Each structure stands twice: as C-alpha cells, then as structure tokens.
Amino acid sequence: MSDRRPDPDREGILGRLLPRTGTEPVTARSPLRIRLILALMFTPLFVAGALLFWMWSGQAGPGDTPHPDSLRTLAWISTALAVFALVDLFVVLRRISRARRAASR
C-alpha cells in the first residue's frame, strides 16, 4: 500500500474511491472558466424554457396541438436541465473560490 496521500483539491465529495488508472496528467484540471461561461449562459435559458413550457401546458386544452402532455414533458426536461446547470454553476463557483484561497496561501 502506498503512503502517498491524495491531493485534497482533486478529491470529490466522497473522496477518491478508485485508484487513478488513466493516462491523463497528474495535474489535469477541469476547464472551470468554460464551465462557468456555459452555466451562466444556459441556466437562465433553461429556467426561461421551463417557465414557458409550464405556462403553455397550463393554457393548452385537451384537443390542442401540441398536446398538454407533450408540453409537460418538455417542461420537466427543461426543469431538470435548469437544476443541473444551477448545481454545476454552484460547484464551479465553489471550486474557483477554493482554488483562489489555495493560491493566496
């Protein structure tokens, strides 16, 4: 067993569960700036889409096209994507904050 301790900045919420087996560099980092830009761009887009589809499905009648069930499905998908983008935004902001604190030490 190795006595090397894993880098705490590279561990996830549950820590490193499996040993590193890939060929990526040891110092590989996630492209946080790109993820931040994408999360800032798509979070409001998915929220607006979810609101639009929820309102549209509430106003659609049983004989309308598209059917209210289709609109509700799109609303659920947009809601899930909005939640995913929002969680990713918080994760990216936390990692950037942690990296800045580590760099200032």
Amino acid 7: pLDDT: 54
CA distance 78 to 52: 10
DSSP code, position 8: G
pLDDT at 40 over 90: yes
8-24 per-position pLDDT tens digit: 555 555 555 566 677 77
CA distance 100 to 74: 39
Tell me the average pLDDT of the chain.
Answer: 84
- In this predicted structure, the answer to whether residue 43 has a pLDDT above a threshold of 60 is yes
Q: What is the pLDDT of residue 76?
A: 98
Q: Record the pTM.
A: 0.71
Say if residue 31 is preceded by a cis peptide, omega within 30 of 0: no
